[in-house]
Structure 1
Amino acid sequence: MSLSSFRRRPATATSSSHDGQKESPQPSIEDPAVLKRETRARRVFSGISCFCYLMAVIFLILVEIGNTRNSPVIRDIYFFKLDLTDILPQSAPTTLSLQNSIARTLGLHDFYQVGLWDFCEGYNTDGITYCSTPTTLYWFNPVEILLGELFAGASIALPSQVNEILNILRIASNIMFGFFLTALLLDFVLMFLAPIAVFSRWWSGPLGFFALLSTLLVLIASSLGTAMSLIFKYALTSQTDLNVNADVGLKMLAFMWIATGFTLLSFIIHAGLCCCCTSRRDIRTGRRNARHINEAGSREKGRTTTATSD
């Protein structure tokens, strides 16, 4: 009788271990806490991309509003600035009265600076005195503006390089204007759409495509703006007999390329999310097993094995 009781004890212990296993249910993949833990890396990178888009939008807005009016910060954002203070005229009427600078004597302003929407002009002693009306697809025509302001009988010899690049300048300015504006709108929209990449890898594809498109737009526009400013500066300052100085707007160039960098970083993140980091759909469809669930199952299996062996 005692022998039968002894033989039934292992079965009782085994059933107890099975009952204990049933009393400890494993986490479900539909548990919000599990989904949140498993997609943590994807959520972090999506948040970083949103931040990058936000920074790109801010700097692109500064590029857009630069030089549009005479106010602090905005008036210092321009592509290039022409200093005509000591310009040498080709001819001047004897009836002209001398002013503070040669440019004033000829009827010109001391400086002209160019933005994306307009140009501003002014005097060294008074600052900016006038900004043209912001115009879409604006381009700066120095021949028309400078020759139009000269007093009657006065003339200046603009270098031939300026006349040769006017058509290129117009086309580059129009492309740059459209690309900057389109990239700004794309980055603004993507800033709000980026978090949906957490739910599925399928969303990372379209988001990556539009991020690439925005990156190309900003990159091309920034390259055109930089090249246009440098070429214009070289074309004017290379003529020593004209004595005109030209400065490239470092703030405008810095803002353009910072926006380009942030947009490029966002594209790299979206491209990486197409193949990396677990999404919610990966867990629900079984493409990626939930690590925390597997760990919990392994621990429970280990406890069951230990109880059975005992």
Structure 2
Amino acid sequence: MGKLGRFACILTPMLCTLASLVCIVLLLIAGTSNNVLPSVYYMQLDLRHINLQSSIDVIPGGTFSHNVSTGITSGNAQDLGLKNFYTTYLWNYCSSASAGGNDQCEKSKSGYTFDVENIIQSESKKNVTFPDSVQKVQKAVNVVSKFMAACYVLAGVATVVTFIVGWFGLLSRWGSCVTTIFADIAFGFLLTASVCATALAYSLKGAFNKAFDSFGVDSTIGQHWMRTTWMATIFAAAAGVFWMMSMCCCSGRTRRVMGHDGPAGGKNKGGMGMRVERTGYERVGASPLMAQHEVPMHPYGAPPAHKPGFEPLRHGKV
């Protein structure tokens, strides 16, 4: 396969790798400021219909400030100083008065987790205690969220390395082999992150909706996030498969790819197409094997004439 075929064989996995990288970048930068991809959130809490009286009755041992518990029996988020919507991303959370945008985003930080109890306490300036079921889920969320974020970062790094090393796959099959290894590593991290994100999101939704049902709080999974993370995973898987195919099925001879059409292998040592000049005398048209083993031909004189042998009895008398 020549230059054009090799390039076509490498182009497909390169495009898949690039598409996966774009999706990962979208997930990493979403929500880092008010106007950066506000719809690509991981989970959203809707506090518009929060019922404070139900909250006080349901939460065992739950405490509100005296003013709230005696002066407000039913109200909305503004009565507690809360925003209507709280959305969480990979590095921070944002709040807004209406759906579809963010009014304020917290500073991004590594090791961030979506701690609902801490967020509501800090925003409302009230001492609110949630049920034990929510607190148990929150402990698992803290661990899984950090692990998930680490997997996304490692997947992004491995994908960048794959895209860079992939250009060397254009020159040889060894380049494709190394690129395949990095592509598989990127796919492994990305698949782990996507599985964690999906499992965590649906677990949180079930736990929060069950615990917050009487509070009037509703949780929603970010569909754009789920589509993006699984699209990145699918592209990464396709890239790994096509990189492996480029290693096994496409020619990777450097001389042909670089435009040298001479022999790249053959019987010569090293496969570089080198030719060795013969030295010394050799008869034209002679076989190579006969050149060294042929008996030299020297001129000889004519053989002597035949003479009859000596017969003594022929000359004697009988």
Check conservation: 1:49, 1:191, Cα contact below 8 A: no
Aligned equivalents of 1:258 and 1:159: distance in 2? 36
| Closer/same/farther in 2, CA of residues 173 and 206 from structure 1, 3 Å limit | same
2:97 is matched with 123
Residues 64 and 126 of structure 1: CA distance in aligned 2, closer, same or farther (over 3 Å): closer
Give the superposition deviation at 1:219.
Answer: 0.7
Shift of 1:108: 2.1
CA separation of 1:267/1:126 partners in 2, compared to 1, >3 Å: closer, same or farther? closer
Find the aligned partners of 2:139 and 2:118 in 1 and give their Cα distance: 13
TM-score (norm 2): 0.71
Structure 2 match to 1:200: 172
Structure with greater contact order relative to length (CA < 8 Å, sep ≥ 6): 1
User: In the alignment, does 2:50 pair up with 1:87?
Assistant: yes
Return closer, same or farther for 1:41/1:106 CA change in 2, 3 Å cut-off.
same
Query: What is aligned with 1:262?
Result: 235
Which of residues 265, 290, 302 in structure 2 aligns to 1:285? 265
Q: TM-score of the superposition, structure 1-length normalised?
A: 0.72
Amino acid at match of 1:272: M
Q: Distance in 1 between matches of 2:51 and 2:73?
A: 16
Amino acid at match of 2:69: P
Q: Runs in 1 of length 4+ with deviation above 6 angstroms?
A: none
Per-residue CA shift, 1:136-183, capped at 9, x if unaligned? 12111111111233354x74x634332112222112111111111121
Task: Give the aligned residue type for 1:173.
Answer: S
CA RMSD of aligned residues (A): 2.5
Q: What percentage of residue pairs aligned between the two structures are identical?
A: 24
Q: State how far apart, in whole Å, the 1-side matches of 2:99 and 2:223 are.
A: 22
Partners of 2:9 and 2:250 within 8 A in 1: no
User: Any idea what the Cα deviations from partners look like across 1:156-211, whole Å, max 9, x if unmatched?
Assistant: x6343321122221121111111111211221232132132232222222211111
Asked if 1:44 corresponds to 2:8, the answer is yes
Residue aligned with 1:67, SS = coil
Shift of 1:127: 5.2
Distance 1:219 1:126, change over 3 A: closer
Q: Tell me how many residue pairs correspond in the alignment.
A: 246
Which residue is equivalent to 1:15? none
Instruction: For 1:1-310, list aligned pairs within 5 A.
Output: 38-71=2-35, 74-89=37-52, 90-91=55-56, 92-95=68-71, 102-124=76-98, 128-152=102-126, 155=128, 158-239=130-211, 240-280=213-253, 284-286=264-266
Q: Which has the larger radius of gyration?
A: 2
Query: C-alpha separation between the residues in 2 aligned to 1:273 and 1:250?
Result: 34
Structure 1 residues 52 and 286: CA distance shift in structure 2, 3 A? farther
Structure 1 residue identity aligned to 2:225:
M
CA contact (8 A) 1:159 1:236 kept: no
Distance in 2, matches of 1:106 and 1:264, equals 47
